[in-house]
Amino acid sequence: RAPPKSAKDAHARFLQAVQHLLCSEVSSAELHEACLAAWQALEPMPMPERSRGRGNTYLLVGPHREALTAALGPGLSSEAVEEVVLAAQELKGWRDKLGGSSSSSSSSSAPPPPPEHQQQQSRPGVGAFKGQITAGERQEQEFGWDLEFVAPDEGVSALQMLGVGGTAALEGVGTGVGRGEPSPEELRALAAQGVQKVGQQQQQQAGGGGGTFSLFAEEEEDLGEEYEEGKRLREINLHWLQRWAERVSGQKGDAAAAVAESAATVLLLEDSADAAATQLLDLMGDGAAEDIMMLMENRKLLREALQTALSKLRAEEEAATQEASMPAYGSQVTITSDSAKLISKLQRKEARKEKAKKGQVASDDVELLSSLGWEAVLDTERDHSSTLVLGDGLEFKVGGDGAISGAKKALPTGTTRKTYKGYEEVHVPAPPRAPPPAPDELVKISELEDWVQLCFQGYKTLNRIQSRIFQTAFTSNENMLVCAPTGAGKTNIAMISVLREVGQNMRYGVIQKADFKIVYVAPMKALAAEVVANFSNRLKPLGLLVRELTGDMQLTKKELAETQMIVTTPEKWDVITRKGGDVSIASLVKLLIIDEVHLLNDDRGPVIETLVARTQRQVEASQNMIRVVGLSATLPNYMDVATFLNVNPTTGLFYFDSSFRPVPLALDFVGVTVNNFAARNNLMTEICYNKVADSLKRGYQAMVFVHSRKDTGKTARTLADLAARNGDLALFDNRDHPMYGFAQKDVKKSRNREVTELFDSGFGIHNAGMLRSDRTLTERLFADGLLKVIVCTATLAWGVNLPAHTVIIKGTQVYDAQKGTFTELGMLDVQQIFGRAGRPQFDTSGEAVIITSHAKLAHYLGMLTSQLPIESQFKSMLVDNLNAEIVLGTVSNVREASAWLSYTYLHTRMSKNPLSYGITYQELATDPSLESHKRTLIVEAAKQLKAAQMAVFDERSGNLYVTELGRVASHYYIRHQSMVTFNSLLKPHMTEAEVLSMVAQSSEFESMMVREEEMPEVEKLSREACPFDVKGGIENKHGKANILLQASVSRARVESFSLVADMMYMATNAPRILRAVFEIALRRKWSSLAETCLTLCKCMEHKLWPDSHPLRQFEHTLSPELLWKLEERGLGLMELEDMSASDIGSAVRHPAAGAQIASCVAAFPRLSMAASLHPITRTVLRVQLTITANFEWRERAHGQVLRW
């Protein structure tokens, strides 16, 4: 039978207590794993005793704390330990009451394991939890972590499966006792032996070694190519031909090369095998007949290998010839025109066709072979790079030539991999610095025009990158793409482009401010605020206004007209350009700067593609130039991005590698292989401490980035405990600093207990939850060297320029409210954090460390070394973006929609990498322009719009027509799946509960997840903060979304970090969705529903219910206690207007607050209206209204409320 509800509540309280104990945000699976470890530690322990003495009693939980520390790691707070111990005792009580025995406790009343443990439990021979796994199984898990073995249900080891004896085989590599664990290389050797034995057994079963098979295997073994580290390559290639020549000639060196070249010449010239064999017999004599027969068997493969090698050499010669005529920027940057490559390719193709008619192709190959020599041809197949193999088998080339193209995943020379117990580490050395610039290479600020110098106050010269792009940026209107590492000065490149546009609109020394707009698209609100602060200060001498336009900062039409430079986010600018009413603003844009273009690979990439495609089509339609400047980190496929941005590769494309970074950066990638949550977390902390201590021993400070506010304090305390345990406190001690005494006085003034406690240990914390004064104090102490280590969140990387020599990212899992789950840290955040590594004025190099799970090691290794080409994500948002273009009027049929699609990055990448987008190479060959595939995509999207009633699609003619629903969805940024939901649920008359339930089912909230550990808090919110019924209950995601919607209006206090993030996401998006539903109701003339939606929308925006006290809108003036007293005593606005200040003070029993409340009443907006009627004719009546504002206007209270 099912356990009673009280037992379930006790179980939920235990989950919640363990979550508080961890002091960090973890996924549900990790939380269940931690609960299991805590339960197994506390289950055998008795109930703690209470202290006896004066004052309050408290639990004696010393032994329990030690057990939990051993299970979950250090840094546990005493309050949280007590909470967990009490919850565990309550859970044990329920187990005993329900008849559970001690022996079955770990499986009956323990917290349910995560899904992977449930799967293990169903398999025979595997324990229910990790604590029950046998020693042999644990050894297999640790030793074979990097080999993908599928073990049977019986207890057979992976090595025995391969035919290798278990104990005997391990003798060669040692066991876990004494010698240590076998390395992955040794395990691979054992696996290879096993495969070889299996192959031999199969060969014997097939009838032994006779016949052709045996001869082929023998010859293949004889001619197998020896590589470094004992690797063999059994391919028929040019190396096979080289070894064949050595065998025929009986010696190596020039003699073998001459034989190989002669054989290659015969193979190229002779089309028939008989003629080639005859020629070779004449050259080498009858004694080589058997060898020539072997050669003839592989003649076709050898000829293809020769033709491939010679084609490669011919292409390299032509590329070298072209490179001499192309612009080259230093020794690191080379730009080649795509059009020149294409023309050259076509010319070669035509020439080969002509030569084929005359039989000259083979003779040309022979001529090239004789001119270059056999060694040059053989060299094309040699691997000039070493290979780095990760534990999961993924290979990366080291020192190869694939660093730019990304195809070979080449890492810099010197990259090393080390394997330790529980983790492996890849070290990427800092690249050598580019040679110092020549004295006349840098552009001097003093040589620029006077009005330009005003924007570069404090600068003497531009840096090397800025100087190289100066001519293009400041003297031309070319579209530009600048790929440069973080910290290379891309902000000044944007400034130069801005000044070019300002100069274009200057008449007789006067800037024509009304003639142009500049739009700077920043990827995040935090970065937008930083850009506004920077550009406002520098453009102020020119009298130019820079304003932010994001979801947090709205601008009136008047302010938009007065602003010359608008800094916005991609989504906000997309919304503005979607609306036809704002065409006047968009038509004035002359310069569009897109920062962090490499985010095309991110979820927000489709918005950037839409903006660029819309801008380019606007340029073609209006014939008014809009310059596009893209700023990006280093990209592997920058040529594709340049094509997408319509950049001329010969004049507008600039690529600078990592050697141009002001401080070269060494990267360390650490992948933890431990699966157990507590063990993995402790190991990550230990690795982090070792990195921090190593940095301090070399005299450098360190920054540790974590991903929640709670985790900053916990990680700092844990690192301090590890320092004390290892005897390294002197490394962190700051008492010998000359400013220590003054700093200590400042720290003691802080009301943040963690700041004061950690200061003496040499640690500081920094997160958005701290007071501004405490954050500023921490930044100043770290800059002055009084704090050796600072543990912070990503807010420090975005908002403050505070560099350190060593930067460490501890863990990469962050909670994403939009997806409703924990996701990996994004590329933009990692690059921004690593941008803090290295101090240009002090350091010659910086160090950045990322500690992640082993499964994500290759992901970050490829991402941060710019090896993986960025792909388009546009297909995921194609339907909604097509609807926006239909509403805007730029697309009216399938043909125009296909043309619009050709302006996107999706079209660029589909032709380069068709398989990733579901296109075969055969389709690409038959339809190079991909017109058929684009038409298919558009037709499918149009059908979905038709099904959602957002567009009218005539399949016969291909015409597309906008509908009212489509217009509403475009203007309010609503997904088409949400419109389908609204179509099915909307009725002319709906209650507030029904409207909220419908909004909660929007696809915008589809990713909302229900977590078991959140259930007690969600249930509490549903009881205390939800005035309307929640349909569907709290166990499903729509019910949770509904509860969070109502709780955000009720301003309920939420403890769980994931719930806080979910609630903020709901509160941000719900008003927009409700406004869209209100518009739909208006257009359908459903007055009752329109009023309900408008009322709920106001509730969401102001976070007030209709029956809340009106003075709650003065929350910054009146305290919550005063507002609560007004509501309790039933003092509404009507009553308060008739009362004096002293009467109000007496009513709330707070005389001093009477005047304050009366002042708010006087400022509350009230209008008085007087109407007069004047008949003009028998059927015409004039109504005259006189509306008078009957309240006190205050800019602070009223200025930002309704901004028309």
For helices 878-888 and 894-901, the axis angle rounded to 10 degrees is: 120
Answer whether residue 136 shows pLDDT above 80.
no
Answer whether residue 878 shows pLDDT above 80.
yes
pLDDT of residue 481: 94
String of DSSP letters for 536-567: HHHHGGGT--EEEESSS----HHHHHH-SEEE
1076 in Cβ contact with 1005 (< 8 Å)? no
The CA distance from 1113 to 1101, in Å, is 11
pLDDT tens, residue by residue, 71-88: 887 767 767 788 888 888
The chain-wide mean pLDDT, for the chain, equals 77
pLDDT tens, residue by residue, 1111-1149: 888 877 888 888 888 888 888 888 888 888 888 888 888
Exposure string of 636-647, with b = 16+ CB inside 10 Å and e = fewer, is bbbbbbbbbbeb
For helices 931-947 and 878-888, the axis angle rounded to 10 degrees is: 80
The CA distance from 712 to 1041, in Å, is 29
Contacting residues for 60 by C-beta, under 8 A, at least 6 apart: 48, 49, 50, 51
The CA distance from 572 to 1058, in Å, is 26
When mean pLDDT is compared across 538-547, 805-814, 1070-1079, 1188-1197, the lowest value belongs to 1188-1197
Over range 185-209, report the average pLDDT: 44
The CA distance from 324 to 1113, in Å, is 70
pLDDT of residue 339: 45
HSE-up of 1052 (CA within 13 Å, CB side)?
A: 26
pLDDT of residue 397: 65
Over range 437-453, report the average pLDDT: 85
83 in Cβ contact with 20 (< 8 Å)? yes
**Taken in order 727, 732, 737, 742, is the CA torsion positive or negative?**
negative
The CA distance from 176 to 192, in Å, is 21
428 in Cβ contact with 415 (< 8 Å)? yes
Over range 215-223, report the average pLDDT: 36
User: Do β-strands 665-672 and 423-428 pair in parallel, antiparallel, or remain unpaired?
Assistant: antiparallel
Q: How confident is the model at residue 552 (pLDDT cuts 50, 70, 90)?
A: low
Number of separate helices (H) and strands (E) present in the chain: 54, 30
Tokens in use for 209?
Answer: 């070694």
Contacting residues for 350 by C-beta, under 8 A, at least 6 apart: none
pLDDT of residue 108: 38
- What CA–CA distances, in Å, run from 86 to 13, 36, 40, 48? 10, 16, 15, 9
pLDDT of residue 304: 81
Q: Which residue has the tokens 């606007």?
A: 618
pLDDT tens, residue by residue, 811-823: 988 877 667 777 8
Answer whether residue 63 shows pLDDT above 70.
yes
pLDDT of residue 236: 76
Answer whether residue 35 shows pLDDT above 60.
yes
Residue type, 353: K
Answer whether residue 967 shows pLDDT above 50.
yes
Q: H-type helices in 557-707, by residue range?
A: 557-562, 570-578, 583-587, 605-622, 638-644, 677-697
Q: How confident is the model at residue 343 (pLDDT cuts 50, 70, 90)?
A: very low
945 in Cβ contact with 953 (< 8 Å)? yes
pLDDT of residue 324: 42
pLDDT of residue 906: 92
945 in Cβ contact with 879 (< 8 Å)? yes
H or E, element range at 967: helix 964-971
Beta-carbon count within 10 A of 317 CB? 12
Residue 1087 — φ and ψ, nearest 5°? Answer: -65, -40
Q: How confident is the model at residue 582 (pLDDT cuts 50, 70, 90)?
A: low
String of DSSP letters for 712-779: HHHHHHHHHHHHHHHT-HHHH--TTSTTHHHHHHHHHT---HHHHHHHTTTEEEE-TTS-HHHHHHHH
The CA distance from 113 to 31, in Å, is 9
Q: How confident is the model at residue 1009 (pLDDT cuts 50, 70, 90)?
A: confident
String of DSSP letters for 93-126: HHHHHTT--STTHHHHTSPPPPHHHHHHHTSTTS
> Which residue has better confidence, 48 or 331?
48
When mean pLDDT is compared across 203-212, 254-263, 970-979, the lowest value belongs to 203-212
- What CA–CA distances, in Å, run from 287 to 248, 273, 283? 9, 19, 11
> Which residue has better confidence, 581 or 43?
43
Answer whether residue 670 shows pLDDT above 90.
yes
The CA distance from 473 to 538, in Å, is 18
**Is 491 buried (19+), middle (13-18) or exposed (0-12) by CB count in 10 A?**
middle
pLDDT of residue 941: 94
HSE-up of 22 (CA within 13 Å, CB side)?
A: 29
634 in Cβ contact with 657 (< 8 Å)? yes
pLDDT of residue 558: 80
Beta-carbon count within 10 A of 1073 CB? 25
Q: Calculate Rg over the CA atoms of the chain.
A: 36
When mean pLDDT is compared across 187-191, 722-726, 1001-1005, 1188-1192, the lowest value belongs to 187-191
Contacting residues for 171 by C-beta, under 8 A, at least 6 apart: none
> Which residue has better confidence, 1199 or 1102?
1102
Answer whether residue 223 shows pLDDT above 60.
no
The distance of Cα 477 from the centroid of its chain, to the nearest Å, equals 33
pLDDT of residue 392: 60
Tell which residue, 877, 786, 802, has the closest CA to residue 838. 802
Over range 295-323, report the average pLDDT: 74
Over range 669-679, report the average pLDDT: 87
806 secondary structure, DSSP code: E
The CA distance from 309 to 312, in Å, is 5
642 in Cβ contact with 481 (< 8 Å)? yes
Answer whether residue 400 shows pLDDT above 60.
no
HSE-up of 550 (CA within 13 Å, CB side)?
A: 20
pLDDT tens, residue by residue, 844-861: 788 999 999 988 888 888
User: Do β-strands 813-816 and 763-766 pair in parallel, antiparallel, or remain unpaired?
Assistant: unpaired
Strand partners, 567: 520, 548
Q: How confident is the model at residue 887 (pLDDT cuts 50, 70, 90)?
A: very high
155 secondary structure, DSSP code: S
Answer whether residue 1164 shows pLDDT above 80.
yes
pLDDT of residue 417: 86
pLDDT tens, residue by residue, 893-913: 999 999 999 999 999 998 888
> Which residue has better confidence, 33 or 593?
593
HSE-up of 696 (CA within 13 Å, CB side)?
A: 25
Strand partners, 670: 425, 851
Q: What is the pTM of this model?
A: 0.69
The CA distance from 170 to 168, in Å, is 5
pLDDT of residue 179: 37
**Taken in order 1103, 1106, 1109, 1113, is the CA torsion positive or negative?**
positive
Strand partners, 546: 565
Answer whether residue 138 shows pLDDT above 80.
no
The CA distance from 747 to 756, in Å, is 6
